[in-house]
Amino acid sequence: MGKKSKTPVLSADISRRDFVNGALVGVGAALLKSAAPASAAGSKAAGVFTDAWTGYGGVGDYAQSNGNIASVRDAAHLIRDGLIEPMLDDAEDLDEEFDMVIIGGGFSGIGAAYQCHKEFGSSKRCLILENHPVFGGEAKQNEFEVDGYRIFGPQGSNDFGVPDKNSDSLIADIYRDTGIPFEFDFVHQDPTKTEVVSPVENYYGMFWEEEIYDTGYYLGEDAKTPWVVNPRSDNLARLPWDEAFKEELNRAFADNEIYYEGDDLDRWLDSMTYKELLEDVMGFSPKVTEYFDPIIANSMGGVGADVYSAFSAKELEMPGTQARYDASPDGTPGALSFPGGNTAIFRHIVKYLMPDSIKGGNSFEEILYNPIDFESLDRSDNPLSIRQNATVVDVRHDGAAENADRVNVAYYQDGKIKKVRAKTVVVSVGGWVARKIVSDLPDQITEAYSQFYHSPILVVNVAFRNWRFLDKLGISSARWFKGFGTCFSIRRPMETGKHTQPYDPDKPMVMTFYVPFNNPGHSLEQQGALGRAEMLSKSYSDYENEIVGQLSSMFSDYGFDAEEDIAGIVLNRWGHAYISPQPGFHFGKDGEEAPKEIVKKGYGRIYFGHSELSGYMSHTRALNEGSRAAKSAFEKI
């Protein structure tokens, strides 16, 4: 096959920005050809473009809130840089008092609100303070309009497992109360259109269920064979890698050996890094660790195996941890995803707690797709209110914590500091924020929080007018080992009514990249800091060029043309996406109590509930942690 030019070509450059009907739009919107600024003067732009760093946000309610946008970043940096304290004396007292103020509008925050509703109904007043323009935390979606279709991708929180409908768990209760279905259908695959087998979420084609989907390994445009499709189907035989290395990987994939017989397996694993387990205990070469590094960084750790607790690797069901993951032999997926990731679950909970929050009725389709009624979210007569664009900057008891009867909460909104009071506070934001904003934090919690480390992730959703280039190659997911990112996936969509996305190579599709910042060889703290510095330093244009260049390198030989095929690119930057647990984080070291257990106790009228307190970032753990913290607070209401 003759090689085509790999030079990426786009229809506009980020530096050429125009105002269309008062909305700043750039290359992201320009790529939506029906609304390109150069040819659409006077017409409405198909999407939101805010600034050169945030970039294009897509369309719909979430277009104004793709990841940590510039305004959120800037407000957070006021806290980081110690610039808030001088402003507190001039705070505007709103003379509002609540039974509970919840800091953070993600899954842990809404979990606390749900538990408060279960306990008290509408008899107590609760306020959620959310620093983003739209509720949901990382459970938000990117939406595109392409050639008459609405197509979606997750901003962060992505997959879910359906709970047992007869379970008495919190998650099953939420499904029953909010009307989330316990069964789902996915688009029927028409073999006359494509035979490519895709996952139904965005992770499992990378490693865990790689054998049951069509996954390609890209070895570089200069390789003798740039692509090897489904390499695990023949035990990596077609990969041009060292035979000893391939033998090691196959042994790791099989994962049949037992390395520890004691009853304290979890504590033993938490005494070492995953690199130590792979190399010192299992006897693998460092090349095996390098293979698994981006998988850990991508899926939940954000860092390399050289600093990551082996117990955390067990929670990811990684080789050697005696938590072997078996891909279903009949192809039944182990995890599912809604069109916009776990946004759908969050919207169901919000609609249940605040019936006016999403316009229309309570059908599955209406809750997924109807507009948010922003005016309804923060009314004085609401039992629960959600106040958005409100970055909490100071939390302290009104007096000594042990005998105070109120907590003062100050937040930054619209360039001003405002203050409310609460009988109790649930802090449902990550430790990197909590330890900065809770001013009377006891020494033992401050010390415990110093052992919490966090790492970034960049989630990129690329909307295509078609995916014929993937069909021609025969893949739905891919891994590669040099260049921008490490993996992507498309999905076979869920059936969701009239806006069900197509599964046809001739029609639009969203490709999702989870992009880690892998810096093994540095300390745990440095790995997170280096990743954040890289992510924060690049503009939308920088990333767009890298993304288009990577796609062109991989797919131009299969008919991909950036200018013709890309309909939009949205970046979702999450500076502290993952807790990165070091050895001892889960069970403590040298007889000391684990840091997460110290924080869970709370103090005075302030309690902490966030998924990081489980050592694992997921929507179910976030809901459980928020619920736990709210229960602890009830005796103070």
278-317: per-residue pLDDT in tens? 999 999 999 999 999 999 999 888 999 999 999 999 999 9
The strand pair at 18-20 and 23-25 is best described as: antiparallel
pLDDT at 86 over 90: no
Going from the N-terminus, what domains does the chain have, and what CATH number goes with each? Answer: 91-135+377-453+583-636 (3.50.50.60)
**The pLDDT value given to residue 446:** 97
Name the band, by pLDDT with cuts 50, 70 and 90, for residue 89. Answer: confident
**The pLDDT value given to residue 370:** 98
Determine the average pLDDT of the residues in 64-77: 90
Q: First CA to last CA across the chain, in angstroms?
A: 71
| Alpha-carbon span 489 to 615, nearest angstrom | 26
pLDDT at 38 over 70: no
Transcribe 337-364 into DSSP letters. Answer: --TTTTHHHHHHHHHHHSTTSBSS-SSH
pTM to 2 decimals? 0.93
Q: How many CA atoms lie within 13 A of 235 on its CB side?
A: 10
| Alpha-carbon span 200 to 222, nearest angstrom | 32
pLDDT at 34 over 60: no
Name the band, by pLDDT with cuts 50, 70 and 90, for residue 10. Answer: very low
| Alpha-carbon span 220 to 238, nearest angstrom | 15
Count of other CB atoms within 10 angstroms of residue 185: 10
pLDDT digits (tens, 9 = 90+) for 227-274: 999 999 999 999 999 999 999 999 999 999 999 999 999 999 999 999
Amino acid at 574: W
Name the band, by pLDDT with cuts 50, 70 and 90, for residue 46. Answer: confident
How much of the chain exceeds pLDDT 70, in percent? 93
pLDDT digits (tens, 9 = 90+) for 393-402: 999 999 999 9
pLDDT at 610 over 70: yes
| Alpha-carbon span 326 to 317, nearest angstrom | 10
pLDDT at 23 over 90: no
| Alpha-carbon span 9 to 27, nearest angstrom | 12
pLDDT at 14 over 70: no
Determine the average pLDDT of the residues in 158-185: 96
pLDDT digits (tens, 9 = 90+) for 169-179: 999 999 999 99
**The pLDDT value given to residue 262:** 95
Q: Are the CB atoms for 103 and 630 separated by under 8 Å? A: no
Determine the average pLDDT of the residues in 355-373: 98
Mean pLDDT of the chain: 91
**The pLDDT value given to residue 327:** 79
Closest-CA residue to 585 (of 303, 317, 203, 324): 303
pLDDT digits (tens, 9 = 90+) for 401-438: 999 999 999 999 998 999 999 999 999 999 999 999 99
Determine the average pLDDT of the residues in 514-529: 96
Helix crossing, 343-353 with 170-178: angle to 10°? 70
Transcribe 26-56 into DSSP letters. Answer: -HHHHTSGGG-TTT-TTSPPSSEE--TTT-E
Name the band, by pLDDT with cuts 50, 70 and 90, for residue 11. Answer: very low
Determine the average pLDDT of the residues in 524-548: 97
Count of other CB atoms within 10 angstroms of residue 238: 14
Q: Are the CB atoms for 392 and 410 separated by under 8 Å? A: yes
